[in-house]
Structure 1
Amino acid sequence: MLELKDFCFTIEKDGEPVNLVDRVNLKVPAGHFMAIVGPSGCGKTTLLNTIAGLNHMSEGSIYWDGRNLEEEGDLEPAELGYVPQFSIAYDELTVDESIEAVTRLRVKTRDLDDLDLRIDRVLEETGLTEIADRQVKVLSGGQKRRLGLAMELVTDPQLLLCDEVTSGLDPRSERDIVRRLHALSRRDGRIVLSVTHSLAHLELYDSILVLHEGRVAYHGVPEGLTHYFSVADTEEIYPRLAKQPSEKWRKSWLKHGPTYFDKIMRERQKLIDAGTLALPHCKLMQETQEASEDIELDETTELIENKPAKSKRSKRRKSKIAAAPEESDLIQEAPEPIETPGFFSQYATLLGRRWKIFFRDRAQVFLQIAILLCFPCLVALFGPQGNEALRIYPDTIEMTSQDAVRNLQAIGENRAKVGGAVSGIIMFQVVLLSLMGSNNAAREVASERKIFEKEKFGGVRPLAYLFSKITFLSCMILVQSVWMAIFVEQFWPYPEAAGSTGFFDHLNFLILVNAAMTAICLGISSLMKTSEQASLLSIYLVGFQLPLSGAVLALPELVGQITRPFISAYWAWAGSIESLDNRYQAAVKTVTETPLESSSTICLYVLGIQIAVGIIASYIGIKRHQWEH
């Protein structure tokens, strides 16, 4: 049984506390299907999210099978299912692949046969078997809602919460969803709570909870709605609610609530007697004990207050306990507990799914190929300028000769030209790889924030998610950086001293600048609430790389000292310059006033620190709760 006692959720508004859910007292027995209805803004979704734990309860208590969840530990991820309003599946995957992925992430199956049986069962329960091979992006609204439902049923949750799953559907699809939820509540003693704005198909629910301004105005069987609110039709209930304050409705309900709850329990007992509602033995015993406690409490109150009416209800409760079916009559055993897969299992599933989504997203694949081909070609266009031979100063200079002076002037012009070309080509590579890194990661987390938050709620480890992203992006970084270096090398051989490893040092810095920008943008993507915010901030970050690096125009020393530690492009450029042949280093230094005295080791350390900062920021953003209601 799910029980709420003086259940509240409070926010601050204009410096004053406001109860969005106000002192809700509610009991929902096992095997029950309840609708939560009420006018817009009455707190339906807020109540559901607070029950789920997405909102932290401000006051009161919540009990599950007699266990205080605040004091004795929350529900396990497998015990609770939550179907939100939005789609929780990737458009590029098929229905079957979506269910398989979420099963691998949330359920530790014994073997592949166990996995297949679980997938086939939820496909059958939700009527998706015939469309299992269709991609999510071609599904109708009703089919997507059923898919979201199927993805929650893989853990056999005992408490299933559904938020506006019928919203925007045609009447036929809406009734189909409600019927399926009704059927699911009849299995394993599952409780199904469904928030809905619609007052259609109420006859399919076991009870209706009506909220008004966060307070309970009614909770009883559907047949009692019109009588309680003194209206001819359910459509008149909302206007009727508005005619008096919600506090008055709440006080009225406190007087009449026990009578209506008895009606709920009597109707439920009829279902048990008819065999249409089967409860696991453990839940039946638990509810029998709770009913006995209620009887004792009622009898004690009766003696104190001398109210005969409660005596009659006590007798009815006693008769219900006596009429409870024997253990041999139960057709279902208590389900085995579901274990959550380990870190490596979740990591492998997340990584495999990410690659599958990438290769099926043709627009993204074409974009990556275009970038991979075009960016190195842009750098190669400037290769001839950097291939000009670097003239050197003679060992002895005869200043009395006009030819010698002209020769020195020509050598100086040559060195400036070649040095500028070499510096520009290296910086062009660095900036373009920074742009690639931004493109790789700017939307990586933010674009799937809702899906990830839902999966995290279902037991997916943030660290497994982060490592899957790091692995995927690392592959992108290596391919882009190595291809850039090798392709440009064919048109502009990297000038390195004989016997040195200048090219490989340069390649290392190209990989690191791509990795640094990717990590930082991944951190931005993880911290931002929307992909638009993340993309915009990442674009600004790349845009400042060239002007603030000092490679084109030297910055004022004070400005340079402040900004330089944060500019990845500067450290990759400076480190690559340090790996050049000494003559080319000298040539570059003749055309820039930006200090290049930093050693290659310092450049490596700074870029490594930037990568670490980006990863730490990513973990913080991924770990942080960012559920949008």
Structure 2
Amino acid sequence: MLELKDVCFSIQKDGEPINLIDNVSIDIPRGHFMAIVGPSGCGKTTLLKTIAGLNEESAGDLIWNGRNLAEEKDFDPAEIGYVPQFSIAYDQLTVDESIESATRLRVKTRNVAELDNRIDRILEETGLATLADRPVKVLSGGQKRRLGLAMELVTGPHLLLCDEVTSGLDPRSERDIVRLLHQLSRKDGRSVISVTHSLAHLELYDSILVLHEGRVAYHGPPEGLTHYFSVDDMEEVYPQLAKQRSDKWQSSWLKHREAYYGKLEAKRQKQIEEGTLSVPDDVLKQKMSTSQALSEKLDEEPKPRRKKRSKSDTAPLDDPAGDDAIVREATELVPMPGVFSQFSTLLSRRWKIFFRDRGQVFLQLSILVCFPILVALFSDRGNENIKRFSDRQEGLLQQITEESMVKASYLSVGSAVSGIVMFQVVLLSLMGSNNSAREVAGERLIFEKEKFGGIRPSAYLASKVAFLGSLILIQSLWMAIFVQQFWKFPDGTDTGFLDHTVFLVMVNAAMTFVCLGISSLMKTAEQSSLLSIYLVGFQLPLSGAVLALPESIESITRPFISAYWAWSGSIDSMNPSYRNAIDAVTETSFQSADACHYLLAIHIALGLIASYIGLKRHQWD
């Protein structure tokens, strides 16, 4: 049973707390199907998120099967399913692949046969078996709602929360979804709570919760709704609500609460006797000795206040029980797969999505081909040999002419070589930005939903690092090898070209992971893309490789400019004569290759740290 006792959720406005949910007290038994209705802005979705733990209650208690979620352990990811308003599936995957991915990420199966059986059962249960091979992007609105439900059913949740899953559907599709939810509430004692704007098909629900300005105006059987509000039709309920303040409706409801709850309990007992409602109480109830042992075990551990959750805590639940509590053994909760299993599933899915996104594949191939060609176009000037002074003593005029030629050669070759290296560095920085600017922010809603379902941020980040790392190596090595065919890197040592290649890999990695950090911290893909573009745009002017910056600015900006450290490290790896030539065309000083390796490694580490912080942070809007 789920009990809400005087639950409040408030926000601060102009320094004053405002209750969006105000002293909500309701009981929802097992195997119950409840609708939350009310005018726009009355707090329906806010209440649902508070129940789920996405909003931390400001006051009151939420009790699940005798366990206070604020003081004891919160929902296990396998206990609860949450179907949001938005689609939680990738358009590039099929229905079957989407459910398989959700299952692999949230359920530890013993073998492929068990996995297939679970997927087939869910497909049949949600009426998606005939659509298993159909891509998500071609599904209708109603079919996507079914898919969202199917992806939440992989763990067999005992509490299913649905937020506006019938919104925007035609009447037939809406009725089909409500009927499906009704059927799901009749299996395994599952409680289903559905937020809806629609007042149609209310007869399919066991109870209706009417909210008005965050307060309970009514919670009882659907057949008592018109009588309670003194209206002839369901559609007249909302106008009737507006005729009286919410505190008046709340006071009225408290007077009639026990009578309507009595009707609900009588109706429930009748359904159990008729066999239309299956609540496995006898199987789930345990002896008081077991309950006492569980309670004592919990008492040994600290009980933190319920917080906004990322669902990353997947430890088995130990449920304390009272005289009439329903206690489940840990074996009833499906086990969560390990970090490596989640990582491999996420990485496999990411590559599958990448190769099915033709636009992204074409863009990556175009960049991979065109950018090195752009650098190669400037290779002729960089291949010129630097003129040197002759050993023969000539006349004064000859010496002046020779000195002028050598100086011109230094300027020409130095400028070309410096420009080619910086061109490579900046283009790889642009590739890095393109790699990851939208990588997390572009799928923010899906990631937040999967994190709620138990996906570990560490597994998610590791899959991104592995995927992006492959792109980094392909792009950087191809840039170095392709350009080397047209412009030979002027080695200062036997490993000069290798050092240069390492710097190209590191600057790409630095920009990729810094932009990944930006993408993880930003809420929208647009914000992340814009900030990443600005970051790349300032790499060239702030590097000082073209025009030297004032010392006061240079000392501040230089540590943050990846392009400078990659350029400087590559220049330091060159033949001394070429370093001197470049030194003649720029006032910007070079740093040692070791220092450049160190700074670029710091950029990479900071990007990864920012990424992890962004992934751990609750950003469900």
Normalised by the length of structure 2, the TM-score is 0.92
Q: Note if 1:351 corresponds to 2:335.
A: no
- The aligned counterpart of 2:397 is 402
C-alpha contact (below 8 Å) 1:280/1:334 kept by paired residues: no
The reply on whether 1:147 has 2:147 as its aligned counterpart is: yes
Matched, 1:618 2:611: yes
Q: Give the AA of the match of 2:572.
A: E
Residue 557 (structure 1) aligned with residue 557 (structure 2): no
Q: Does residue 1:391 correspond to 2:384, yes or no?
A: no
Q: Distance in 1 between matches of 2:400 and 2:254?
A: 104
Q: Which amino acid aligns with 2:124?
A: E
- Counterpart of 2:338 in structure 1 is 342
Structure 1's 506 and 261: CA in aligned 2 closer, same or farther, altered over 3 A?
A: same
Structure 2 residue 423 is matched with structure 1 residue 420: no
Residue 333 to residue 515, structure 1, CA distance change in 2 (3 Å): closer
Distance 1:101 1:257 in 2: 44
Tell me, yes or no, if structure 1 residue 279 matches structure 2 residue 275. Answer: no
CA distance in structure 1 between the aligned counterparts of 2:32 and 2:530, rounded to whole angstroms: 47
Alignment match, 2:9: 9
Aligned counterparts of 1:196 and 1:88: Cα–Cα separation in 2: 19
1:231 aligns with 2:231: yes
Letter in 2 for 1:54: L
Supply the distance in 2 between the matched residues of 1:525 and 1:352 (Cα, whole angstroms): 21
Q: 2:358 is matched by which residue type in structure 1? A: R
Aligned to 2:580: 586
Report the alpha carbon displacement of residue 110 of structure 1 after superposing the two structures with TM. 1.4
User: % of aligned pairs identical?
Assistant: 70
Question: What is the aligned partner in structure 2 of residue 185 from structure 1?
Answer: 185
Matched, 1:542 2:565: no
Q: For residue 88 of structure 2, what is the aligned residue in structure 1?
A: 88
Change (3 A) 1:395 1:54: farther
2:113 — aligned with what? Answer: 113
- Deviation, 1:388, is 1.2
Within 5 Å, which residues of 2 pair with 1:429-508? 429-497=424-492, 500-508=494-502
Mapping of residues 165-204 of structure 1, within 5 Å? 165-204=165-204
What are structure 2's unaligned runs of at least 5 residues? 289-323
Kindly provide the amino acid, as one letter, of the partner of residue 501 in structure 1.
T
Q: How far did residue 281 of structure 1 move?
A: 2.9
The verdict on how the C-alpha distance between 1:385 and 1:118 changes in structure 2, with shifts beyond 3 A counting, is: same
Q: 1:397 Cα shift? A: 6.1
Listed one character per residue, the Cα deviations across residues 212-248 of structure 1 (whole Å, up to 9, x for unaligned) are 0000000010100000000000100001001010000
- Pair 36,397 (structure 1): closer, same or farther in 2 beyond 3 Å: farther
In the alignment, structure 1 segments of 5+ residues that lack a partner are: 289-323, 325-331
Shift of 1:500: 1.5
AA aligned to 2:361 is V
Runs of 4+ in 1 over 6 A off after TM superposition: 332-335
What amino acid sits opposite 1:365 in the alignment?
V
When residues 246 and 335 of structure 1 are mapped into structure 2, their CA distance, relative to the original with a 3 A threshold, is farther
Q: CA distance change for structure 1 residues 591 and 3 in 2, over 3 Å: closer, same or farther?
A: same
Q: For 1:14-34, what per-residue CA distance to the aligned partner results, in whole angstroms no more than 9, with x for missing partners? A: 211111000001001100000
- Using a 3 Å threshold, how does the CA distance of structure 1 residues 67 and 229 change in structure 2: closer, same or farther? same
- How many angstroms apart in 2 are the aligned matches of 1:424 and 1:621? 36
Deviations 1:103-135 (A, max 9, x none): 000001111111111101111111000010011
- Tell me the secondary structure at the aligned position of residue 78 of structure 1: coil
CA distance in 1, matches of 2:96, 2:75: 28
Q: Is the 8 Å Cα contact of residues 281 and 334 (structure 1) preserved in structure 2?
A: no
The one-letter code matched in structure 2 to 1:556 is P
The aligned counterpart of 1:329 is none
Change beyond 3 A, Cα 1:459–1:26: same
User: 1:283 deviation in Å?
Assistant: 7.3
Measure how far apart 1:404 and its partner are: 1.5
Residues 16-415 of structure 1 correspond to what in structure 2 (within 5 A)?
Answer: 16-282=16-282, 285=285, 336-394=332-390, 400-415=395-410
In structure 2, how many angstroms separate the alpha carbons of the residues matched to 1:556 and 1:370? 37
What secondary structure is seen at the aligned counterpart in 2 of 1:77? coil
Is 1:607 the counterpart of 2:603? The answer is no
Q: Distance in 2 between matches of 1:233 and 1:138?
A: 38
Contact 1:188 1:335 in 2 (8 A): no
Shift of 1:515: 0.3
C-alpha deviation, 1:335, in angstroms: 8.0
SS in 1 for 2:27: strand
Following the alignment from structure 1 to structure 2, what is the Cα–Cα distance between the partners of residues 281 and 255?
A: 31
Amino acid across the alignment from 1:13: K
Which 10-residue stretch deviates more, 149-158 or 400-409?
400-409
DSSP-derived class of the 2:485 partner:
helix
Secondary structure class of the residue paired with 2:505: helix
8 Å Cα contact 1:481-1:511 kept in structure 2: yes
User: Taking structure 1 as the reference length, what is the TM-score of the superposition?
Assistant: 0.91
Is the 1:88–1:148 Cα contact (8 Å) retained in structure 2? yes
Distance in 2 between residues matched to 1:262 and 1:13, nearest whole Å: 39
Q: 2:308 aligns to what?
A: none
Equivalences, count: 583
Q: Which stretch of the first structure deviates more once superposed, 11-20 or 478-487?
A: 11-20
C-alpha contact (below 8 Å) 1:189/1:283 kept by paired residues: no
Q: Deviations over 1:413-464 (max 9, x none)?
A: 0111000000000000000000000000100000000000000000000000
Question: Once the 2 structures are TM-superposed, how far is the Cα of residue 489 of structure 1 from its aligned partner?
Answer: 0.5
CA spacing shift, 1:410–1:20, aligned 2, 3 Å: same
Separation in 1, partners of 2:212, 2:420: 67
Distance in 1, Cα, partners of 2:567 & 2:113: 55
